């Protein structure tokens, strides 16, 4: 039976690929809705982008607007990575205008109502932006925490340096208080941080394969990733940008792609240079009970192969 997921996102190029991968994979996943948060760009743009991506997929999927800003801090955005629109393309061609509306229900209410309405242990939450919507949902309705099957996130950096500060990964840094609340909540948590996503590089042959073999949507995605590659290649000097967010969806479709290890993770919320760091206890030095399954390795060729195959189905 297909896993039923709610995908919380802030598109964003890699969010867009994650959404498309999920919508294409109907045998394994049923997307109950996209809940959108401010992150890579402000909420009005992430919302527009989410609707454009669903329109591109030509699949039915409801889109819900969530929180425009973090719980306690001003929002930090990433136009330097994703462009002014959040989904700039290499060719300059924008995605087509959306035909999908914004639902009237708030994203947080949708998450709470859905997890309560569906059978216990049947809904998986996937979060690939700042964790604001998730933390607010948990604060509003703690009963949903043990009801959900699991929460799979892209966020954090256990052993890698940060990408927005030397210590912190972007999604955690934008709303560290929300992240702290989520990591401390007791939810069944699966973490795809920079440790794994920095192994998933959009190299020229992989980009070419998406363009050549990914069908109608693959061509559009390759154009988007062409833009996305530019900033990270100049920043890191790698062969391509890391394709972060689709790791979460690939894990739900084909978990054997990844190596995982259970450990204790705590988010640093103290003001200072480590704000937003996910302090990850590989060796069990603290005696704290492990609270997250952390991705440590993976098969990058298979990951990109899966994405290309699935994009072609749209």
Q: Known catalytic residues?
A: 10
Q: Which is nearer to ligand BDR, 14 or 150 (CB)?
A: 14
163 binds, among Ca ion, ligand BDR, none (CB under 5 to 8 A by kind): ligand BDR
215 binds, among Ca ion, ligand BDR, none (CB under 5 to 8 A by kind): none
Say how many C-beta atoms besides its own lie within 10 A of residue 122's C-beta: 13
Q: Which is nearer to Ca ion, 129 or 298 (CB)?
A: 129
Structure tokens at 121: 């242990």
Q: Residue 154 to residues 137, 170, 243: CA-CA distances in angstroms?
A: 18, 10, 11
Q: Which is nearer to ligand BDR, 192 or 215 (CB)?
A: 192
Q: Which is nearer to ligand BDR, 16 or 112 (CB)?
A: 16
Say how many C-beta atoms besides its own lie within 10 A of residue 102's C-beta: 16
**CB-nearest residue to ligand BDR:** 170
**7, β-bridge pairs:** 34, 126
Give contact residues for Ca ion (rule: CB under 5 A). Answer: 10, 12, 15, 128-129, 245
How near is the Cβ of 287 to ligand BDR at its closest, in Å? Answer: 30
Residues 6+ positions from 300 with CB-CB distance below 8 Å: 199, 200, 201
67 binds, among ligand BDR, Ca ion, none (CB under 5 to 8 A by kind): none
Give contact residues for ligand BDR (rule: CB under 6 A). Answer: 12, 14-15, 40, 78, 81, 128-129, 154, 163, 169-171, 244-245
170 binds, among ligand BDR, Ca ion, none (CB under 5 to 8 A by kind): ligand BDR
Is the CA virtual torsion 36, 39, 44, 48 positive or negative? negative
How near is the Cβ of 164 to ligand BDR at its closest, in Å? Answer: 7
Q: CA-CA distance, 114 to 129, in Å (whole number)?
A: 20
Q: Which is nearer to ligand BDR, 109 or 296 (CB)?
A: 296
How near is the Cβ of 181 to Ca ion at its closest, in Å? Answer: 19
Structure tokens at 260: 């995982």
How near is the Cβ of 246 to ligand BDR at its closest, in Å? Answer: 10
Q: Residue 312 to residues 206, 251, 307: CA-CA distances in angstroms?
A: 15, 19, 9
Task: Assess contact for 117 and 91: CB atoms under 8 A.
Answer: no
**4, β-bridge pairs:** 30, 123
User: Which stretches does DSSP call E strand in 135-282?
Assistant: 150-154, 189-192, 258-267, 278-281
DSSP state of 102: B
How near is the Cβ of 133 to ligand BDR at its closest, in Å? Answer: 14
User: Which stretches does DSSP call E strand in 97-164?
Assistant: 123-127, 150-154
How near is the Cβ of 121 to ligand BDR at its closest, in Å? Answer: 26
Q: Which is nearer to Ca ion, 130 or 298 (CB)?
A: 130
109 binds, among ligand BDR, Ca ion, none (CB under 5 to 8 A by kind): none
265 binds, among ligand BDR, Ca ion, none (CB under 5 to 8 A by kind): none
Q: Is 55 exposed, middle or buried (0-12, 13-18, 19+ CB in 10 A)?
A: middle
Closest CA to 15 of 210, 45, 28, 230: 45
């Amino acid at each position: 039976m297909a896993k039923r997921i709610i995908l919380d996102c802030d598109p964003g190029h890699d969010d867009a690929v994650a959404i498309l991968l999920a919508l294409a994979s109907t045998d394994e996943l049923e997307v109950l809705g996209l809940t959108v948060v401010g992150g890579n760009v402000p909420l009005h743009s992430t919302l527009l982008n989410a609707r454009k991506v669903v329109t591109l997929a030509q699949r039915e999927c409801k889109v819900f607007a969530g929180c425009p800003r973090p719980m306690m801090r001003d929002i930090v955005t990433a136009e330097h990575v994703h462009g002014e629109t959040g989904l700039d393309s290499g060719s300059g061609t924008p995605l087509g205008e959306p035909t999908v509306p914004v639902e009237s229900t708030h994203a947080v209410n949708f998450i709470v109502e859905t997890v309560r309405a569906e059978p216990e242990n049947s809904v998986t939450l996937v979060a690939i932006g700042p964790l604001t919507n998730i933390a607010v949902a948990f604060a509003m309705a703690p009963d949903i925490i043990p009801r959900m099957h699991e929460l799979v996130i892209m966020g954090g950096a256990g052993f890698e340096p940060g990408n927005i500060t030397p210590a912190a990964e972007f999604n955690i840094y934008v709303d560290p208080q929300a992240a702290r609340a989520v990591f401390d909540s007791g939810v069944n948590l699966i973490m795809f941080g920079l440790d794994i996503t920095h192994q998933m590089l959009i190299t020229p042959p992989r980009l070419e394969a998406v363009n050549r073999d990914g069908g109608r949507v693959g061509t559009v995605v390759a154009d988007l990733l062409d833009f996305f590659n530019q900033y990270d290649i100049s920043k890191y000097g790698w062969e391509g940008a890391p394709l972060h967010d689709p790791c979460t969806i690939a894990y739900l479709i084909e978990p054997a792609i990844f190596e995982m290890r259970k450990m204790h993770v705590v988010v640093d919320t103290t003001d200072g240079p480590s704000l937003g760091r996910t302090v990850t206890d590989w060796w069990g030095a603290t005696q704290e009970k492990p609270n997250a399954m952390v991705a440590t390795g993976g098969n990058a060729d298979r990951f990109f192969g899966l994405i290309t195959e699935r994009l072609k189905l749209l």
